[in-house]
Chains A and B, each alone.
Chain A
Amino acid sequence: MAGVIGRRTFLRRSASGALIAAAPSRAAAGEGGRSPSDRIRVGLIGVGVRGRDHHLRFLLGNPRAEIGAICDVDRRHADLAARIAVDAGRKKPLIFYDFRRILERKDIDAVVVSTPDHWHSIILIQAIEAGKDVYCEKPLTLFIAEGRRMAEVARQYGAVVQVGSQQRSDWRFRQAVALVRNQRIGRLRKITTHLGNPGTTSGAFIHPGVWEPARTPPEGLDFDMWLGPAPYHDYSPNRCHFEFRYHLDHSGGRITDWGAHHNDIAQWALGADQSGPTRIEGRGGFNKAGPYDYANFMEVRYRYANGVEVICENEGGNGVRFHGADGWIFVSRLRLDASDPEILKEPVAAPDAAAYDRRNEREEIPGTDEHHNNWLDCIKSRRRCAADIEMGHRSATVCHLGNIAMRLGRPLEWDPAREEFIGDAGANILKDKPFRAPWRL
C-alpha cells in the first residue's frame, strides 16, 4: 500500500485541515462591531464579467453575506454591479473606483478580488494588512516571486484566504482525487491536464487576437489605474477587461487560466500542495504577429520527485486524466469516468463525502460543494479554506513554470523548496516582474 496516506498523516500534512494558528477571530472580534451570527460584509474589488456574473450573483443569493461595497476602475462596471444589487432587493452598496477606499472601511469584513491578475498581489496584501479576509480569483499570481510574499502575509495576519480554484469544492474532482490517492487505479504513473475548450477535443478556441489601433480610453475607465503595476501600454480594447488574459503583462494565457484549475487538481492528487515539480520541459507556439503574446499551442511536461509525470496540453478536450498502473480516471466539470466504471460505483454517503473508504485505508479530502460557502464558513471558524493561499501559490507556480519553460525552450530544473531554478540565472530572472512605479508589494 505504498503511497497511500493514512488519515492522521494526511491531516497532519494538509493545510486545509489546519486551524489558522490560534488566530484571534477578526471576524468574530467585530472590528466593525459585527457579532459572529451576523452577515459577513463583503466588498467586491473588480466587477467585470467574473466579479459581476459569478461573485456578485452568488453572494447576492447567499443570506450569510451582504454586499457592503463595490469597486472597479471602470465606472460603468461598478455602477452596473451596484444596480444589480439594488434590483435584487439589497441595500445599495457603497461604490468606489479605487480599491484603497474599500480597504479603509472598517465596516467591510472581507473582500473578493476579481481584477486582472497583475493586481492580485498588491490588493490581497493590502487587504490583509487592513484586516480583511480575502477571496482571490485564480490564478493567484502573475509571477512566482510574489506568491511567496502573499502566503507569508496571510499567515502573519491569520487571514482566511480562498483562491478561486473552485474545482477543489466540486464533488467530481474531490472524488477523483480521493480515488487516485487511494490507488484505485493502482500506482499513479502520469497525469494529463487538458486545457482545451470544454466540450471539444481540440484547443481551437485559442486564437491570436485582432489588432486594434491605440485610442483614448472610454469615458469612465481609469486606464492608468487599470494598468497599475503593469508595464505601460496605450489603451486598446483588445488589452482590457476579459482580453487581459491573453497578454503576458497582465496574465499567463491559457495555462494560467484553465491550468490554474486543472494543474491545481494534479497538485492535489500528487499531495504536492506544499511543493511542486522538479523538472519542466515545454513546447509552446507563440504567435509572433500578435496581439496576444501567450502560448496558443502548448505541451508542457512536468516531472515530480516521486517520478510521476504531468503533461499539460491544450488538446484532448478539457479535464484531467489520471493514468495508473491498473487503469485510468478522467474528470471534468461535466463528467467523471474510469477505465473500470465499477470504481465509480463504490458506495459513498453523499456527493460531498469527504472520506473514501474502500480499502480501509481511509483518507479524508477536505472540501465542500460550494467554494463561496466554504470561504464564509472559514471566516467564521478561522480554519483554512479548501483552496488555501499556499495551494493557490503552488498551483499558480506550476503554471508559471510551464510558461517559462515554453518561453525559454530548454529543460529546467526546479527546486520547489527554495522556489528557484537550479543553475539557470536567465530562468530565475523570469520568476519576478518589476512593478511600474510607484506600486510595490
Chain B
Amino acid sequence: MNPALLQWIDQMGDQDQVVAYYAYQCLLEEALRAGAPGQEAKQAALAEVLGKALVARAEPKTGGGRPGSFESNPFLTAVAARTAAYEHPAQVRRNLARLLGYLPHEAVVPYLREALDDLEARETARQSLELHPSDNATAALVQALDSAGAVFCAGVVNSLAKRRGPEAAAAVRRAAGDPQPEVRIAALYALAETPDASHDAILAKMTEASSPEEAAAAHVARARLADTLWRSGGRAAAERIYRSILESGAGEPQKVAARLALGG
C-alpha cells in the first residue's frame, strides 16, 4: 500500500486549492489503477483506507462543561455526534465517497452504507453505491429510502431504477406511494425501467393524480414502460400498453410513439 495515502487524504482538505486538488488526483490515480482485473487484494486494501477515513469520527468532547453549556447537554452532544463530528471536512468526505465508487470491490459497500447517514456526504455515497451492482449495495440503497429528505430519497429511487431484482422493484413500488411528490415522480420513472407489465396498473392509476405534474409524468412513464417491455421481448404486453395510451389522456407525443410501435 502506498504510504502516501493517508497524507493525501489529509491534504484533500488543505486550504490551498492546488494542494487539495493534487492530493485528490493522486488518490484517483491509485483507485483507477487498483480497479484493474486481478487487483482484488489491492482494491480491498484501498477500500479499507479510504472507507475508514470516510466514516472516521473526531474525538468526542467529553468531561461535562459548564452547567447549561452545549457540552453538558447530552441530547445536543448526541446530535452533534451524528451530524458534525467527523474527522475530515465535508469536501474530503465527499471525495472519499467518490473514490470508493471507482473500486469494483464489495469492501467499499459497508463504508458507503455508513456514509448514507452523513448528511454532507450521503449524496455522493448514494451515487457511488449506484455504480456497484452487488446485492449488498442494493440493500443499502433500499434502506436509504427511509432517510429524511425528499431530494435525497428521489436520488435513491433513481439509483434503484438501474437495478434488477425483486428487492429493488419492491422498494420502488413502495416509493410510488411516498408522501413526497418528488419521490413519487422518481418512482414513476423507476417503475418504467423494469420489464414488469404489472407496473402499468400503478402508472395508469397515477395518470389520474390530482397533481398535473404527476399525471403528466405517469403518461410519459407508461410509454417508457412499454418501450422497456418491447426491448426485453414482452411485445404483447407493450402493445397492450400502447393501445391503452392511445385511448388515454396521454399527450400527443406519447400517442405518436404508440402509433409508431403499433405500425399505425
Contacts and interface: CB of A to CB of B under 8 A. Distances in A.
Interface stretch (A17-25, A169-177, A257-265): A17-25
Contact of A409 (B33, B130, B151, B223): B33
Contacts of B101: 429
A440 B161 contact: yes
B92 to A, nearest CB: 14
A438 B186 contact: yes
Interface in B109-140: 123-124, 126-128, 130-131
Interface residues of B, number: 50
Q: Main SS of chain B's interface residues?
A: helix
Interface stretch (B59-67, B197-205, B255-263): B255-263
A423 interface: yes
A437 B161 CA distance: 13
B26 A424 contact: no
A436 B21 contact: no
Contacts of B257: 156-158
A426 B22 contact: no
Interface stretch (B48-56, B152-160, B168-176): B152-160
B102 A288 contact: no
A372 to B, nearest CB: 23
Nearest to B101: A429
Nearest to B162: A432
A434 interface: yes
B231 interface: yes
A212 to B, nearest CB: 9
A349 interface: no
Nearest to A286: B25
B260 A437 contact: no
B260 A157 contact: yes
A408 interface: yes
B76 interface: no
Interface in A279-304: 286, 288-291, 293
A434 to B, nearest CB: 4
B11 to A, nearest CB: 12
Contact of B130 (A211, A424, A434, A439): A434
Given A290-B21, A408-B36, A440-B189, A129 B253 contact: yes
A408 B154 contact: no
Contacts of B261: 156
B25 A293 contact: yes
Interface in B14-41: 17-18, 21-22, 25-26, 32-37
Given A26-B256, A291-B21, A409-B33, A438 B127 contact: no
Contact of A429 (B21, B131, B154, B263): B131
Contacts of A409: 32-33
B158 A437 contact: yes
A438 B154 contact: yes
B36 A410 contact: yes
B104 to A, nearest CB: 4
Nearest to B185: A438
Contacts of B158: 435, 437-440
Interface string A16-42: 000001111010010100000000000
A231 interface: yes
B247 interface: no
Contacts of A435: 127, 155, 158
Given A22-B260, A156-B261, A426 B36 contact: yes
A399 interface: no
B251 interface: yes
Contacts of A427: 35
A95 B98 CA distance: 37
Contacts of A129: 220, 223, 253-254
Contacts of A408: 32-33, 35-36
A22 to B, nearest CB: 7
A410 B39 CA distance: 13
B62 to A, nearest CB: 34
Interface in B216-235: 220, 223, 227, 231
B119 to A, nearest CB: 13
Given A130-B251, A288-B26, 7 more contacts: A22-B260, A232-B94, A408-B36, A429-B101, A429-B104, A440-B158, A440-B161
19 contacts: A23-B256, A31-B252, A158-B257, A231-B98, A231-B124, A288-B22, A290-B21, A408-B33, A409-B33, A424-B37, A428-B104, A430-B102, A432-B131, A434-B127, A434-B159, A435-B127, A436-B127, A437-B152, A438-B154
10 A-B pairs with least C-beta separation: A426-B35, A437-B155, A131-B253, A434-B127, A425-B104, A290-B21, A438-B154, A288-B25, A440-B158, A434-B130
